């Protein structure tokens, strides 16, 4: 429920705690909800309507945070009003200024059954890219049933027993790995940097029962590309995994070589082993990183070659002015190169 400008309380009138609390609650600007029955266009329309009087509302919120609220006797009530008003201000400064949020992502199985994955995203500070849920992970997650029927059917069909796990690299908030456990009815181990895994583990724990209801299972562990000292010992034995998945993994110049090396180290040497990768091509920089990554895969001791690739369109909600941006996402599947053709590999 939105608030009209004329409904904003005047602090000089010393409004009661309950009136201010109600107003601040109704001024909440919620982030886009992906995968709900409400279209993204409708969500953005609601957001824009809430933000059209940004200047006046921002002035009101600033006045609350700077006021002593001396007419309210209860210290806890004053503290709550200051906290909520600050939160409302942050919401109007873009997603990266927002505090912790929890939102739901909706999925539909081919048999018509549905499930929702609940994902917590902590406040975004510093170099915490892994605390964001990027649009490409949702795009790839929704494509998982198609891959299971098509190019990955042989891999998933052969995965049996407690040791047969799907490995996700750079899991972030965990959306893709959790969806894989549900759609593929498979055991999935989700990994990321030690600083990211606490939130990742939280999201895995609150969605574990959903994965298990679809006969999947989920686990988490730290895995730092190129650094065994910050990697769980279960990954120290090379070439264990028949299937590796990764979405939106390239941000720095050293990522292509680190990721390619980690994939080579963790992927089984079997000819049936596969890697599924999605990279959003947001700009020229990400295009170069993607190209470098492919070259690095070919330069591994047992080179990895592309067996199929295409594009899919996604949406990030991390653009300017809270409007997000459309992103073209490249996906590809890789396998070990046949030794008989290694001398024909591109330079």
Closest to 134 in 3D by CA, of 281, 317, 323, 310: 317
How far is Cα 51 from Cα 144, in angstroms, rounded to an integer?
Answer: 36
The DSSP secondary-structure symbol of 151 reads: T
Band of residue 199 on the pLDDT scale cut at 50, 70, 90: very high
Closest to 176 in 3D by CA, of 165, 168, 184, 187: 168
Cβ burial of 205 (10 Å; 0-12, 13-18, 19+) is: exposed
The values of phi and psi at residue 280, to 5°, are: -70, 130
For 260-271, the pLDDT digits (tens) are 999 999 999 999
With beta carbons less than 8 A apart as the criterion, state whether 2 and 26 touch.
Answer: yes
pTM listed for this prediction: 0.76
Bridge partners (DSSP) listed for residue 241: 267
Band of residue 3 on the pLDDT scale cut at 50, 70, 90: low
Structure tokens at 22: 């109600």
Whose tokens are 């990211």? That residue is 196
The pLDDT > 90 percentage for the chain reads 64
Closest to 327 in 3D by CA, of 290, 301, 299: 290
Structure tokens at 329: 């996402």
Band of residue 186 on the pLDDT scale cut at 50, 70, 90: very high
How far is Cα 303 from Cα 265, in angstroms, rounded to an integer?
Answer: 11
Confidence at residue 124, expressed as pLDDT on a 0 to 100 scale: 60
How far is Cα 35 from Cα 116, in angstroms, rounded to an integer?
Answer: 9
For 208-261, the pLDDT digits (tens) are 999 999 999 999 999 999 999 999 999 999 999 999 999 999 988 999 999 999
Closest to 23 in 3D by CA, of 75, 70, 64: 64
- For CATH 3.40.50.150, list the domain ranges present in the chain: 101-344
* CA-CA-CA-CA torsion sign (209, 214, 215, 219): negative
**Ramachandran class of 24: left when φ > 0, alpha when ψ lies in -120 to 50, beta otherwise:** alpha
The DSSP secondary-structure symbol of 129 reads: G
How many C-beta atoms surround the C-beta of residue 135 within 10 A?
Answer: 23
pLDDT at residue 74 tops 50: yes
Bridge partners (DSSP) listed for residue 4: none
Over range 178-185, report the average pLDDT. 96
Confidence at residue 47, expressed as pLDDT on a 0 to 100 scale: 52
| Homologous superfamily of the 101-344 domain (CATH) | Vaccinia Virus protein VP39 (3.40.50.150)
Query: Which residue intervals of the chain are DSSP H helices?
Result: 17-26, 40-51, 54-66, 75-91, 135-149, 153-158, 175-184, 197-213, 255-266, 284-298
- CA 133, chain centre distance (Å): 2
Taking each helix axis from N to C terminus, what angle separates 175-184 and 135-149, rounded to the nearest 10 degrees?
20
Contacts 24+ apart (CB under 8 A), 34-42: 34/103, 34/105, 34/106, 34/135, 34/138, 34/315, 34/317, 35/104, 35/105, 35/106, 35/107, 35/116, 35/138, 36/104, 36/106, 37/106, 40/315
């Amino acid at each position: 429920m939105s608030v009209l400008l004329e409904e904003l309380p005047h602090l000089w009138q010393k409004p009661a705690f309950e009136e201010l609390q109600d107003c601040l609650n109704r001024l909440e600007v919620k982030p886009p909800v992906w995968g709900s029955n409400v279209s993204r266009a409708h969500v953005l329309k609601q957001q824009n309507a809430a933000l059209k009087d940004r200047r006046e509302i921002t002035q009101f919120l600033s006045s609350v945070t700077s006021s002593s609220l001396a007419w309210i006797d209860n210290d806890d009530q004053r503290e709550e009003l200051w906290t909520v008003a600050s939160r409302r201000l942050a919401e109007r400064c873009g997603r990266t200024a927002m505090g912790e949020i929890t939102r739901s992502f909706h999925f539909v199985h081919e048999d018509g059954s549905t499930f929702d994955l609940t994902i917590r995203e902590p406040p975004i500070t510093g170099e915490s890219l892994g605390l964001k849920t990027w649009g490409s992970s949702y795009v790839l997650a929704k494509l998982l049933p198609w891959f299971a029927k098509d190019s990955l059917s042989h891999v998933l069909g052969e995965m049996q027993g407690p040791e047969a796990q799907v490995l996700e690299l750079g899991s972030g908030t965990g959306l893709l790995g959790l969806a894989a456990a549900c759609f593929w009815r498979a055991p999935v181990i989700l990994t990321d940097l030690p600083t990211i895994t606490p939130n990742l583990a939280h999201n895995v724990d609150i969605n574990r029962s959903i994965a298990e209801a679809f006969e999947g299972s989920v686990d988490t562990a730290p895995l730092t590309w190129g650094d065994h000292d910050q990697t769980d010992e279960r990954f120290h034995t090379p070439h264990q995994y028949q299937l590796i998945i990764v979405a939106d993994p390239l941000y720095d110049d050293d990522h292509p070589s680190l990721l390619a090396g980690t994939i080579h180290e963790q992927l089984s040497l079997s000819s049936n082993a596969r890697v599924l990768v999605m990279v959003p091509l947001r700009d020229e920089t990400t295009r170069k990183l993607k190209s470098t990554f492919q070259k690095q895969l070919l330069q591994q001791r047992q080179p990895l070659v592309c067996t199929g690739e295409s594009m899919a369109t996604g949406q990030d909600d991390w653009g300017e002015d809270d409007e997000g941006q459309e992103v073209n996402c490249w996906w590809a599947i890789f396998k070990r190169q046949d030794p008989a053709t290694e001398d024909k590999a591109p330079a």
